[in-house]
Amino acid sequence: MGKAEIVKEWKPEMKALGFVYRDLMFQLKEGMEQSLQFAIVIQRNLHSDTYLIHFKILLNNPFSTALRPEVLVNGHLRPEGVYLHVYKSSWWPREFMSEGLACVKRHAMSWFRKWSDPSFLVEKHEVAICNRQNLIEVFEPLTPEQEDAFRRIWHRPNHDKVGLPPAIFHHTAVLHFLNGNLEMAIRRTKDWLQQIDPHEAVGRRHAEIQLKVLQQAN
């Protein structure tokens, strides 16, 4: 009930800001048909009447209409700005959600302009791939003290090198394509295909279609 009330309260001002409410999120009408889209999602805490306000960059695959948009960047609004890591101050009490809306209006468009730049995004993705780092640690590095605190809270392993999920190669390939670099788009699509389990027929088919389209365009 609480989230539904908040959405209803927010709709008029979000509409004035250029958003429509669709698929349980506020979506920026500008660019809804483009590959990089902006959505704002309200998430209620299961244990208390507090809420996360997500700022999401969605990647709509230009090579396949069968794939749903995927979350490329997931920011969380705090009173002082938008951050990727979740802190206690990322959770908004119900009585402060009107202030949360004011912060949305203050930060939304500037955040979207920064985080929807393909050249910026692809650079960070390549750093994560080359250094085998979690993407969030490349996007928003923590101080050693913050990292220790997060490891205690979330039980993170005490090492920097990580296994890279296949999706990062997929996303990086699309970003290279959007940035006009077909050669790197092909290379990262091949990496994506190599990372997909041989038994994942659907995923491999999407990767093969993407590779074929890119090679024809090159």
| 171-181 pLDDT per residue, tens | 999 999 999 99
pLDDT attached to residue 154 = 61
pLDDT attached to residue 173 = 98
**pLDDT of 18 higher than 90:** yes
The answer to whether 52 touches 104, Cβ cutoff 8 Å, is no
Q: Spell out the residues 6+ positions from residue 195 whose beta carbon is closer than 8 angstroms to its own.
A: 164, 165, 166, 169
Instruction: Please state, in angstroms and rounded to a whole number, the distance separating the CA atoms of residues 101 and 9.
Output: 10
Q: For 201-218, how does the pLDDT look when each residue is reduced to its tens digit (9 = 90+)?
A: 999 999 999 999 999 998
**pLDDT of 1 higher than 60:** no
pLDDT, greater one: 146 or 165: 165
Least trusted range by pLDDT, from 83-87, 105-109, 137-141, 160-164: 160-164
Q: Spell out the residues 6+ positions from residue 82 whose beta carbon is closer than 8 angstroms to its own.
A: 55, 75, 76, 107, 111
pTM value?
0.91
Q: For 40-68, how does the pLDDT look when each residue is reduced to its tens digit (9 = 90+)?
A: 999 999 999 999 999 999 999 999 877 78
pLDDT attached to residue 195 = 96
**Which amino acid does the sequence have at 145?**
E
In the predicted model, what is the mean pLDDT of the chain?
A: 93
Q: Spell out the residues 6+ positions from residue 90 whose beta carbon is closer than 8 angstroms to its own.
A: 52, 76, 77, 78, 83
pLDDT attached to residue 101 = 98
pLDDT attached to residue 157 = 56
Q: For 61-92, how does the pLDDT look when each residue is reduced to its tens digit (9 = 90+)?
A: 999 877 789 999 999 999 999 999 998 999 99
- SS3 labels along the chain: CHHHHHHHHHHHHHHHHCEEEECCEEEECCCCCCCEEEEEEEEECCCCCEEEEEEEEEECCCCCCCCCCEEEEEEEEECCEEECCCCHHHCEEHHHHHHHHHHHHHHHHHHHHHHCCHHHHHHHHHHHHHHCCCHHHHHCCCCHHHHHHHHHHHCCCCCCCCCCCHHHHHHHHHHHHHCCCHHHHHHHHHHHHHHCCCCCHHHHHHHHHHHHHHHHHC
Least trusted range by pLDDT, from 20-34, 94-108, 115-129, 135-149: 135-149
pLDDT band at 111 (very low <50, low <70, confident <90, very high): very high
**pLDDT of 158 higher than 70:** no
CB atoms inside a 10 Å sphere around CB 82: 21
pLDDT band at 160 (very low <50, low <70, confident <90, very high): low
Q: What residue spans define the domains of the chain? A: 2-116, 122-217
pLDDT attached to residue 60 = 94
